[in-house]
Amino acid sequence: MKPRFPGQRTAILRSDSASEYIYGALQTRLNIEGIASDPSMPYTPEQDGRSERYIKSVLTKSRCTFVEKKIPYDEWPYVVQLAVHILNHSPTRSNPQYKTPYELFYGRQPDVSHLRTPGSIVYCHIDKQKRVEKRFGARAVVRVLIGLENNGIVAMNPLDRKILKTCNFQANENLGWNDALFEITKNLDDNFVYEPSLDHSYAWAYIAKRGLDYTSLSDNIPMDYKEAMASPFSHLWIQAITDEFDSLFQNKVWTKVRATVNLPVNHKKLVTQGGFLQ
Counting the structural domains of the chain, the total is 3
Per-residue model confidence (pLDDT) at position 80 = 92
Calculate mean pLDDT across residues 209-218.
46
User: To the nearest whole number, what is the mean pLDDT of the chain?
Assistant: 78
Residues 155, 87 share a domain? yes
> Which DSSP symbol is given to 123?
E
Length of the chain: 278
Residues 33, 148 share a domain? no
Per-residue model confidence (pLDDT) at position 75 = 85
Where is pLDDT greater, at 269 or 262? Answer: 262
Per-residue model confidence (pLDDT) at position 120 = 92
Per-residue model confidence (pLDDT) at position 25 = 86
Query: Looking at the predicted structure, is the pLDDT value of residue 273 above 50?
Result: no
Per-residue model confidence (pLDDT) at position 221 = 63
Where is pLDDT greater, at 82 or 128? Answer: 82
Among 172, 195, 213, give the residue marking a domain's end: 213
Per-residue model confidence (pLDDT) at position 194 = 44
Per-residue model confidence (pLDDT) at position 188 = 60
Per-residue model confidence (pLDDT) at position 204 = 47
Lowest mean pLDDT among 13-22, 126-135, 258-267: 258-267
Per-residue model confidence (pLDDT) at position 59 = 93
Among 213, 231, 257, give the residue marking a domain's end: 213
pLDDT band at 249 (very low <50, low <70, confident <90, very high): confident
Q: Can you name the residues that pair with 154 across neighbouring β-strands?
A: 147, 165
User: Residue 208's CB: how many other CB atoms inside 10 A?
Assistant: 23
Amino acid at 257: V
Where is pLDDT greater, at 253 or 26? Answer: 26
Where is pLDDT greater, at 227 or 109? Answer: 109
Residues 244, 204 share a domain? no
Residues 229, 142 share a domain? no
Per-residue model confidence (pLDDT) at position 70 = 84
Residues 105, 131 share a domain? yes
SS (H, E, C) 172-241: ECCCCHHHHHHHHHCCCCCCCCCCCCCCCHHHHHHHHHHCCCCCCHHHHCCCCHHHHHHCCCHHHHHHHH
Calculate mean pLDDT across residues 75-103.
90
Grouping H, G, I as helix, E, B as strand and the rest as coil, residue 36 is strand
Among 43, 59, 75, give the residue marking a domain's end: 43
Residue 96 phi/psi, 5-degree rounding, is: -60, 130
Residues 184, 170 share a domain? yes
Residues 170, 50 share a domain? yes
Q: Which domain holds residue 248?
A: 221-278
Cα–Cα nearest to 140, from 148, 151, 150, 132: 132
pLDDT in tens, 31-73: 998 999 989 898 888 888 888 888 999 999 999 988 888 888 8
pLDDT in tens, 170-213: 999 999 888 888 887 776 655 444 443 434 444 444 444 444 44
pLDDT band at 150 (very low <50, low <70, confident <90, very high): confident
Contact status, residue 203 vs residue 217, Cβ threshold 8 Å: yes
pTM (2 decimals)? 0.59
Lowest mean pLDDT among 145-149, 189-193, 199-203, 270-274: 199-203
Residues 203, 177 share a domain? yes
Residues 203, 249 share a domain? no
Give percent of the chain with pLDDT exceeding 70: 76
Residues 230, 182 share a domain? no
